[in-house]
Structure 1
Amino acid sequence: TVSNIFKAHAIPVVDADLVARDVLKKGTGGWRKVVAAFGEDILLDNGEVDRPKLGQIVFSDPLKRQLLNRLLAPYISSGIFYEVLKLWMKGYKVIVLDAPLLFEAKIDKWTKPIIVVWVDPETQLRRLMARDRTSVEEAKNRINAQMPLDLKQSKADIVIDNTGSLEDLDESFRKVLAQVTKPLTWSEFGLSRQGAFLAFISVLVGVLICRKTL
């Protein structure tokens, strides 16, 4: 929901889950590694990975989940970087990375500020069951596979409480929007497309001046 609100305000969102789907498509490097590790029993008749079946396997076995994460992490990280780079080259100053496993995948160092959308455990379980149409046990396995929300909250720069109504969420979002769209600091400007272009021009001009001097 929060990602959709960002999109509604013309702020692009890179969805890590969609990137993960892409790296598991038939014939990709990620697909080959996963099939080699888990066997062809996880495949559908068309050769694509049966994601619900794979999910049941890894969310009920921590070791297999770690194996899957280790196999796909390089592909997901490079996929996310590529999507962010494309948007950066288009001149977007704010890009949202929607990544449920931001801390677990150790890609939190790429992002600033870190926003955590918080809900109480009961609401989290109920919403997950409704969204994915899973049983209580499956939903709990998925939740337990992630870092606890309270711990994520302690690591966040901004926390959005999503336990209330859509009106409450919209009010919280507007405050967050003001924070993430405020003018860039000098260090942030240096990492922006405009900053990189200015640095390139400065170096180019410096080289031309040196050549003329010589």
Structure 2
Amino acid sequence: MRIDGIIFDKDGTLFDFRATWDVWALGVIDELSAGDAALAQRIADAAVFDLAARAFRPESPIIAGTNREAAEAIGTALPGRPVEEIESFLSMRAAMAPLAPAVPLDPYLTGLAARGLSLGVITNDTEAGALAHLGKAGVLAHFDFVAGFDSGHGAKPDPAPLLAFCRSTGLNPARVVMVGDSHHDLLAGRRAGMQTLGVLTGTALAADLAPLADAVLPDIGHIPAWIDA
């Protein structure tokens, strides 16, 4: 079926998850624990983050969750701090995360736009975080639609934000591809009636994504060849 638009997840899709968010998490844990090794371990356990491996475990709720859900998880290790305070702290630190693009994004997105495709980003991060990251990477202007979990459309796996992209661009959902690295991304795409592509630049394995994906690719750089095929 013809493809008129592509929606990208952000973390683990446009940006390599491990190289970006594992590094970010180490900094967050270090700052919140203020040198207290026992507290650092409690925060890591709450985040399902392996301090020895310096990496999120695949089952961490923070990987595909919203900023609020991340704050609620970490808050279980910080009972004296309001969740709202933790949420604000995480949001500020997320905006400064060390970004690692999955591919050189500017020429890649320029090539997709040259095909006449409408492009969007839908993330369970905050809208402000998404705009900051895309701006920092110098690619915000390539996207026709950007939404976070707090943009008023809901959060994945709810299909509502994906359908908001279609309303904004005037596209038929069946001719849009949802690209993501998590079950949440692909389930949202299926529920929206879209085509779905999994990518392996997050924490999920191909076997985790395959049941909900039309194809699983190493990274977004392989999408043009998939479209042509």
Structure with max Cα Rg: 1
Q: Report which of the two has the higher share of helix.
A: 1
Question: What's the TM-score bracket when you normalise by the shorter of the two chains?
Answer: 0.3 to 0.5
> Which one scores higher on RCO, CA 8 angstroms, separation ≥ 6?
2
Please report the TM-score for the alignment, with normalisation by the length of structure 2. Answer: 0.38
Please report the TM-score for the alignment, with normalisation by the length of structure 1. Answer: 0.40
Q: Report which of the two has the higher share of strand.
A: 2
